Structure 1
Amino acid sequence: MTVLVIELTPGANMAYLAALTLGAGRRAGLAAVAGVALGLTLIGVAAAVGLAALVAASPAIWAALRWAGGLYLLYLAWETWRGDKETSPAGTGSLIRTNARYFSRGVITNILNPKAALFYVAIVPRFLPESGPTLGHGLGLTAISVAVATTVHLAIVLLAARMHPLLSQPGRMERTRQGLAIGLGAIAIWFLLTTTSPQV
């Protein structure tokens, strides 16, 4: 339930997947969902093997991760606002030629996603046994969280794909894209201002 509530709150994945699917179509969105799932899995596994504790104990590492993620989200917001070819139907073939590129962007987006990092560093440890949490516990929680997140992300992509015909007119598409870009930028700024520490 905790994972579901967190995933339903506005975040980088939600805005990015919606913008990508509205602009480049359902296949691009589904490829990005797969990349997002892999990115979340990598972060979860890293946390399970002890890197979460290392990040939580090191203000320098946390600050580097936080700034890298926040600046990357701002870059995605700017790219979306400009109507970059990745989220533009006319330019899909020239900038990103295969769904593998959408997949890799999904992976990168989540490796540098402050919300995902904060979840695995500050939230997941609270659900581990106080006496001797094992690698199995961490991997199990990772599997559950990735499954729930992927379900939510698939729903977002499918909904955006259904809305695409309604927003296919140039004026509507541009306004929608710019609205999503503003939302993504606001999320990036909010994370930079509020996640000064991995302790929540």
Structure 2
Amino acid sequence: MRKQHPLFHGSLSVLLLVFLFAGCGSMSKSAIKGDLEGVKKHLQKGENINQYDRWGWTPLMWAVYYNYFNVVKFMLENGADPNARTQSSYGSIGKDSTPLMIASYYGWGGMVRILLKHWADKSLVNSQEETALTIAEKYNFTEVIELLEKSPRYKSPSERGNMDSDNTFNQFIILNDGSRIVGKIISQTRTTVTIQTKYTTMTIEKDRISEMKYK
């Protein structure tokens, strides 16, 4: 069963980690280390939570890959895209894989559950013609198989309507890259907007924002 990563085993582990870090952006590096406070700081500085790094992966993908549940939870609650695709393969994870496929490959039920809760699309197919379910079936991860089979079909944001609504944090910002940040706008200047989410407060430059509105 795939529960550990070969990167951290053997005499080459340190060299491999240095090589990996060389191609990663700041937030991805924090995600790889499981550094939640580091992720928060980068987000507060206005870094794009869905930015692809040199390896063609987003910070969320790395956090899922290394099974950092709290980091993944925070990212999903602050605009990380659960349906982003890997732009290249890494290890045994193929190109066009989603975070849900990565979690399914390692049989991490808790990770699969929270991704599905945040509308990860289980029907997506990677470059190897695999879905999250066929990956779980391949390695007989029964918990993951059951979660995927019982989960409802993916619904687009327009189909969901107010299903994700929150009475306190009832505003959201849509960034130019399509990601969404839900919270309460607490201040604005000519060039920036400061929004408070459930877990942090961040200031975003207005030229990165495509839309702001109430739910």
Q: Which has the higher helix share?
A: 1
Q: Which has the higher contact order (CA 8 A, sep 6+)?
A: 1
| TM-score w.r.t. length of structure 1 | 0.25
Q: Which has the higher strand share?
A: 2
| TM-score w.r.t. length of structure 2 | 0.24
